[in-house]
Homo-oligomer: A and B are copies of this chain.
């Protein structure tokens, strides 16, 4: 007889979900047993829940199907919230399975009891608690269907321990996943008028507008519009951006509001495709929240929740664009630099050595700003960033991306302060022998905070402010840290060393870490 836990795993496997990022506890033991009793599900153990949720995000972005997590009660789930926040902003499809106490035990308010729903609400589009073993399969199928609606949602299913043990029926089938709605004729028409007006305009891209299919349409649109009348721009922090040789050159919006506003200011109209109207990451006194001024016109071609791929294709057709437009077709990489490690030399080394079809997870923050421009005509790659701003996503997200794409190389450009949040991910990379090459940008500080503090008008940091920003005393030995968690590591201090060690790491199998001292 099948129990609730088994029916859950069966339902997930039947829906094509065959990887689960897990940190289970006592209340999830029936599901742990079911992992062996039901074939087809691979459980990837993470030593901290933030690794599990961040990996589910990276997996979902690359696999384009829901990342599944298995988490323990409220506190276990809480440890994963920060990267579910990032996943929500990335619009990644994720299904969380959270074990709960047996229903009959809740009245006793046992030590690990807490209000899981209240914790889950800010990061979940859908929350349900299963009421019986019979219900669980159907509940999960509904969660998967909701999560799978493009670009993706987070669905959280809470499964009490007793329900997991109860008799259950057959696994449930995921009903046809709802397609994102098509945009109306009007939206296409207004976009055409804008791009044909002869006035300077920008096409501002986000979400699925930055993936393969949409970018082919974007190239056609660019070919069908006059120079200056359709500047291609994109969000500061795209969830996934297909880039490199053969893809249109798109300007990434700067992070800070002043340069972002300056970048947008030449354009009379901005056509939004899959992106929200861009806003400042933080509110600074005297600086507006929105980067597009009231004097500019905003035209929404498609929101992230609409079928932006079809909308871009319809726009290209309406512009009578060629069926196929070649774009950015010459491979161009920077020469290998020499000398000190700086944001420029590090970026050049990685852009120059980037293998074809790599996945780049970029949480380098202040350390590798020039990389994006330097790599725009380098080998084709998928580029992942951190749309939600909860730092520490890089190592987990790279982990999940590597699980999703075992045949591709993942390069994680990783700031040191952020990396310390989720260093446990290295262990999972070692255990699963994932093809992740991590470059730790060791500037021994939360450099961004130093910049932010200077923005507040501080000329000289006080002793305590300095101590809140500096990751010195003691310095963190990233090479030692990595080796202790099973990932081979080296330390480099020049561009030549970085090039040599990155080339070696790329040639070797499995995870590798390079500590680059800036």
Contact = CB atoms under 8 A, between A and B. Distances in A.
A165 interface: yes
Nearest to A288: B108
Contact of A285 (B48, B165, B421, B478): B165
Contacts of A485: 474, 476-477, 481
A115 B81 CA distance: 12
Contacts of A116: 122
Contacts of A421: 47-48, 79, 424
A200 interface: no
A24 B468 contact: yes
Interface string A75-105: 1101101100110010000000000011011
A468 B423 CA distance: 19
A112 B388 contact: yes
A372 interface: no
Interface stretch (A303-311, A401-409, A450-458): A450-458
Contacts of A27: 282
B104 A32 contact: no
B122 A36 contact: no
A111 B393 CA distance: 14
A47 B282 contact: no
A78 B462 CA distance: 28
Contacts of A281: 26, 110-112
A108 B279 contact: yes
B484 A282 contact: no
A486 interface: yes
A504 to B, nearest CB: 20
A108 to B, nearest CB: 4
B104 A468 contact: no
A8 to B, nearest CB: 15
A35 interface: yes
Report how many copies the assembly holds: 2
A480 interface: yes
A124 to B, nearest CB: 11
A313 to B, nearest CB: 29
Give the interface centre of A79, A111, A112, A453 by most chain B CB atoms within 10 Å. A111
Interface string A283-300: 101000110000000000
B108 A289 contact: yes
A36 B468 CA distance: 11
A75 B390 CA distance: 6
A464 B448 CA distance: 41
Contact of A114 (B26, B85, B417): B85
Contacts of A481: 480-481, 484-485
Interface in A444-492: 448-449, 452-453, 456, 458, 461-465, 467-468, 471, 473-481, 483-486
A427 interface: yes
Interface in A101-147: 101-102, 104-105, 107-112, 114-116, 118-119, 121-123
A30 B456 contact: yes
A315 to B, nearest CB: 26
Interface in A3-38: 22, 24-27, 29-30, 32-33, 35-37
B456 A105 contact: no
Interface in A414-448: 417, 420-421, 423-424, 427, 430-431, 448
A355 interface: no
A41 to B, nearest CB: 8
A36 B463 CA distance: 7
B280 A36 contact: no
A50 interface: yes
A476 B110 contact: no
List the 7 closest A-B pairs by CB distance, nearest first: A36-B462, A105-B283, A474-B486, A480-B484, A102-B283, A75-B390, A78-B81
9 contacts: A26-B448, A32-B465, A42-B464, A110-B280, A118-B118, A423-B424, A431-B473, A480-B480, A480-B484
